A = this chain, B = another copy of it.
Amino acid sequence: MSKELTIGLVGFGCVGSGLYEVLNQSNLIDATIKTIVVKDREKERSLPKERFSFDVKDIFEDESINTVIELINDSDAALDIVKQALESGRNVVSANKKLIAEYLDELLEIAKRNNVSFLYEGAVAGSIPIIRNLEEYYNNDSVTSVEGIVNGTTNYILTKSNDGIGYEQALKDAQDLGFAELNPTLDVDGFDSKYKLVLLLKHAFGITVNPSSLLNSGIRKISEREVAYANEKGYRIKLFSRAEKVGNKVVAFVAPHFVESSHFAYSVDNEFNAVVVAGLFSDQQLFIGKGAGSYPTASAVLSDVSALKFNYKYEYRKTIENSNLSYSEDFFVRVYVGSSYIESINEIPFYKVDELFQSDKYSFQTGWVHFSDISNIDFNNREQISLVVLPDPLRLAEDFESKSKDGNYQEFEHVAFS
């Protein structure tokens, strides 16, 4: 049953070189990295120059290579390589969340047609085996929500922010430590978290959502004002990728959240990732691990390689069975919106206002918004607006109405300050 793996590795950065070490220095798995393809001929690397090749042809023209591991940054180039590898009947392991989030269904079709495996545990939450668990253990439709901190860079920055260090300084610290890129947009604006959310949606609920249609509101606007609000209420701020069933629909978004101390993720700090899976009957399970870095991600890739030896494939059972589930923006979420300008707050269409604080320097408002009213707002680039989601459960319109009959909630108030 166990199969000889001869590997072509594309990319020798942080994760690629980590994988090389892990595979070659430990004899953990009987697999050989035969060819390593890199782009830059001049770059200093930990192995002698002769060990590298500079053309992927060297992999594709080598009949003995049956497995391609793709670990490069450039997702356009990666797309070509992964497609060609699958088409040529080779198994592929990738950790490229952007590529996979954008082209998953197309790649799956190619993999299926060629009867090969396409595995990508390393693409989500580093060393946490979340894809495998959603695929194998939570393989019936009992999952009700998946919510997590899946980006180590932003969690590191937010941990510092929660401790009173300003965003700019925290970002600089993260860059100095190698956690954040010089251009941190992908991380801090929540794009990375969103690509991962797309993969979680696929494996938790069986639905395909184009990343461009999901809201990603990041952490650049989290200031000492939001931290002060959090401290006052006993919250901490965490960037969540969140997917859950609300009624018979699936909702999903990336946004900073105020988190109560009773929440599993409250004390998950620094570069750690955490994913909470809730089921109809299984209550909640929490998975914590290092979300980034050479070895943690390499070990996820290694586990995929190890699974290939036994011809493991994702089955996407939920995709087949749950074809009736669909993505929806028809729900209400309770949010905090802060700004130096009350006018900016008033542009956000609140359905019901719970608190309004106004001063010369800073204002904020909390209350319920209908998600479809805010899902198209580019909070990352909108001047002077901070959005943070409050801990209340998401609601459907009927939840408000039915609850209000019991007198538990007020009726909607459409509020517009002017």
Interface residues of chain A, those whose CB is within 8 Å of chain B, are 18, 22, 26, 28-29, 121, 127-129, 132-133, 136-142, 264, 267, 279-290, 295-296, 298-300, 302-303, 306-307, 310, 315
A30 to B136, CA, bound (A): 17
Contact yes or no, A132 B136, CB < 8 A: yes
A310 to B314, CA, bound (A): 13
Name the B residues within 8 Å of A26 (CB-CB). Answer: 142, 280-281
Q: How far is the CB of A133 from chain B (nearest CB, A)?
A: 6
Contact yes or no, A28 B129, CB < 8 A: no
Contact yes or no, A296 B280, CB < 8 A: no
Q: List 13 A-B contacts (CB under 8 A).
A: A18-B281, A26-B142, A26-B281, A28-B141, A127-B279, A129-B133, A132-B133, A136-B307, A139-B306, A282-B289, A282-B296, A282-B300, A284-B289
Closest residue of chain B to A26 (Cβ to Cβ) is: B280
Name the B residues within 8 Å of A302 (CB-CB). Answer: 140, 142, 281
Closest residue of chain B to A312 (Cβ to Cβ) is: B136
Contact yes or no, A295 B267, CB < 8 A: no
Most-contacted residue by chain B among A282, A288, A300 (CB, 10 A): A282
Q: A133-B133, A139-B303 are in contact. Are A127 and B283 (CB under 8 A)?
A: yes
Name the B residues within 8 Å of A295 (CB-CB). Answer: 281-283
Beyond the given pairs A121-B137, A132-B136, A133-B133, 10 more chain A to chain B contacts, judged by CB atoms under 8 angstroms and listed by A's residue number, are A29-B140, A127-B282, A127-B285, A129-B285, A140-B302, A281-B299, A282-B295, A283-B289, A283-B299, A285-B288
Q: A287-B286, A288-B264, A299-B281 are in contact. Are A306 and B28 (CB under 8 A)?
A: no
